[in-house]
Amino acid sequence: MEKFIKELAPSILAADFNRLGKQIKEVSSTGTKYLHIDVMDGLFVPSISFGMPLIASIRKESSMFFDVHLMINEPARYLNDFAKAGADGITVHKEACADLKGTIYGIKKLGLKPSVSINPETPVQEIEDVLEMVHMVLVMSVHPGFGGQKFIGSTLEKVRLLKETRENNKFNYKIEIDGGVNKDNIAEIAESGVDVIVAGTAVFNGNITENINLLKEVL
Ligand code: DX5
Ligand code: ZN
């Protein structure tokens, strides 16, 4: 059985975009490997964030793993563009894809790591047929669309189920959780069996290095 090492994935949605390059360098200097990049289209979620040009720009100066979380309808339309911009992994929402399998194949074909995400109200059963194909399963622990929301505790049940399913079937996906993680709840979240923990506000609000070190203490 592969050993799963827990990683923190800071979400730049909460960064100060006026100092984005510098802040990413600071994140990287803490030894953090994942950078979580939230793309929103104003349709799948109410808000609009940023897209390919921003990713291409930060790609020039960062060798971190770009974990691109697409909160957009029918992401299959844009996979090529996100690959070109410099994504390493692309996460698509089950709720946003008419052809989830085809979309995941599309990501693989581009040489990138495919992941699937489910909203808080979507059960794990709805993605059962793609679990053997994905690099990660992203469990949303808030309703997608905004940073700084409250963690929905019941989503940890899905993490436990995904862990059990992985063991029973010898699957290899990582389990990622996203939304509302902070220094007070990260220990319990880590305990539930997640492998990659996204944190936006808890990383970028205040001193980045101190925040990351504090959050990583329990990983
Ligand atoms: C929410 C995004 C999250 C968000 C997390 O739609 O997918 O990645 O940036 O932000 P925090 O950690 O502040 O809840
Ligand atoms: Zn996200």
Q: What is the pLDDT of residues 159-202, one digit of tens each?
A: 999 999 999 999 999 999 999 999 999 999 999 999 999 999 99
* Calpha distance 181→61 (Å, rounded): 27
Give the C-alpha separation, 165 to 159, whole Å. Answer: 10
List CB contacts of 48: < 8 A, sequence separation 6 or more.
40, 41, 42
Task: Report if pTM > 0.85.
Answer: yes
Which of 118, 143, 146, 194 for mutating ligand 1's site (highest number of atoms within 8 Å of CB)? 146
Secondary structure (3-state) at 96: helix
**Is 67 a catalytic site residue?**
no
Question: In this structure, are residues 53 and 74 in contact, taking their beta carbons and an 8 Å threshold?
Answer: no
The sign one gets for the Cα dihedral 79, 117, 10, 171 is negative
- Weakly modelled stretches of the chain, pLDDT under 50: 1-2
Look up residue 151 and give its two tokens: 């963690």
Judged by DSSP in three states, 5 sits in coil
pLDDT of residue 5: 75
pLDDT at 2: 43
What's residue 93's pLDDT? Answer: 99
**155, 56 in Cβ contact below 8 A?**
no
Question: Both tokens of residue 162?
Answer: 């995904």
Q: Which residues line ligand 1 (CB under 6 A)?
A: 11, 13-14, 36, 38, 69, 142, 144-149, 178-181, 198-202
The yes-or-no answer on residue 195 being catalytic is no
How many Cβ atoms sit within 10 Å of the Cβ of residue 217? 10
Q: How far is CA 190 from the centre of its chain?
A: 15
93 - beta bridge partners? 117
14 alpha carbon – ligand 1 mean position (Å): 8
Return the H-helix or E-strand segment holding 159: helix 156-169
How far apart, in whole angstroms, are the C-alpha atoms of residue 144 and residue 52? 19
d(Cα 140, Cα 158) in Å, to the nearest integer? Answer: 10
| pLDDT score, position 155 | 98
Whole-number Å distance, alpha carbon 47 to ligand 2 midpoint, is 13
* Res 1: pLDDT: 40
